[in-house]
Structure 1
């Protein structure tokens, strides 16, 4: 449900490359294996809440006036976590993936401030894996012009990284269920940006793509806490839930540029990974 698709594919590609490198090393050298919303508000707390449930829900979506907050998205099996800092036009986005054969864990994080982009990869479970992949452990400053496809790297577009507002706007009506819970039916065919961000095969869904139910929760402070989209099964794909959570408004750390010894220019190996 991210603003820009392709990031999940990048995570998987790095893990696949690590697996391939390990397999090749094992053949040649016998390598073994080892190692709810808080403060802040989506709208002016002093203003009267709009009577229309859809307008109320849209007003709860994070905007550029919000303080830094945390978020998580679950797109099927891909889970992202991060921080959004609207004042700095900044975002941090991370994902952790475990590989079973050979057994290792990869944590990959992107940091974006305006047009500046950094990446950090942490590989654990097998000694020397960073050296095998020629990937440093520090933050790597990336040059976007060296990326074959910039959609493989995140950008800061707005304070709503999961495009929840775009989903809500496609609903004809939204129902207030009480206790901060709202329900509606999204039309995924009505917004090309939403289609791209969700990564859902709208064509495969057919007519069902026009009636995808969602549930949203707004906290007592007026912030959107969660939005769950119930995507039906299509073809060989099972039904799944796309879940977004926004939390820790005003408590999350501000997103700043890596500095000093914690950062270096990205080596050629980093671009080889990102460009596939």
Structure 2
């Protein structure tokens, strides 16, 4: 049971910092961008693969480039699960991650909303029965002043439609085969700079030579857009095997993003900055 205020605050800040780092500085939002999409040989001006495209070119052409309208995404890496909406027209993302405190059992659920150059945050604690002293934050979107952040990059910004960095990973593929209608499989060399950054440089370094032969699968939807990418990262040393998964869905059908207004939003209080700044 949590009874010491100092210990509680430290735990919450670690959870908040871990969530912010996951959302922006590690895998799913590493900001690599989709390398090669829209300009590979064998693609048409619309980004769709031509009949003469190789499997790799066809797969790269399916990676979202911002022309598909708003869509949903989910992602999973070695540390967290993420979900949200991407709206290229609004240069916006709405994404959420959750981390469970291993000692006390409560869960910190953190959401970020980005529209143009503005950023909001929302934090919710669940599983807190019997616990006291958790920070009391507004149950609404809290707009952040990035100038008040110790590390402005600790919160997300819009880096392009391919938030899961499928493009850099596919670009690093050394073999791609079309297994059946719109299903692909192959091998990716994660030692390349952009691919390593996308999946996680520390995790890739731990693989050693095995990082050059990592299997992946991908599925392209009937609309020609990438539906999923799965990278099966093998075990290495004491690290267990894990799976990097990106799913894109509801292209053009997801809700468009807009800045919250009225009672739905407020300026972030001092406590919100304390959580992010650690």
TM-score of the aligned structures, taking structure 2 as reference length: 0.78
**Unaligned regions of 5+ residues in structure 1, if any?**
1-8, 17-41
| Mapped partners of 1:131, 1:146: distance in 2 | 25
Secondary structure (helix, strand or coil) at the match of 1:58 reads helix
Which residue of 166, 175, 178 maps to 2:177?
175
In the other structure, the counterpart of 1:185 is: 187
After superposition, residues 21-36 of structure 1 pair within 5 angstroms as none
Query: 1:108 aligned to 2:105?
Result: no
Structure 1 equivalent of residue 206 of structure 2: 204
CA distance in 1, matches of 2:130, 2:149: 26
Aligned CA RMSD, in angstroms, stands at: 2.8
In the aligned structure 1, how far is the partner of 2:266 from the partner of 2:239?
41
2:195 is aligned to: 194
1:268 matches 2:234 = no
Number of matched pairs = 242
Partner residue in 2 for 1:140: 142
Q: Does 1:232 align with 2:234?
A: yes
- Provide, for residues 26-60 of structure 1, a one-character-per-residue CA deviation record: whole Å limited to 9, x for no partner: xxxxxxxxxxxxxxxx9849874443111100111
Q: Residues 51 and 196 from structure 1, CA distance in 2 versus in 1: closer, same or farther, beyond 3 angstroms?
A: closer
- Tell me, yes or no, if the aligned pair for 1:45 and 1:222 is still in contact at 8 Å: no
Using the alignment, how far apart are the partners of 2:159 and 2:125 within structure 1? 29
Deviation at 1:128, TM superposition (A): 11
Give the counterpart of 2:255 among 246, 249, 253.
253
1:76-87 map, 5 Å: 76-87=78-89
| Structure 2: runs of 5+ lacking an equivalent | 1-10, 19-42
Q: Which residue does 1:75 correspond to in 2?
A: 77
TM-score normalised to the size of structure 1?
0.79
Contact 1:71–1:247 (8 Å) recurs in 2: yes
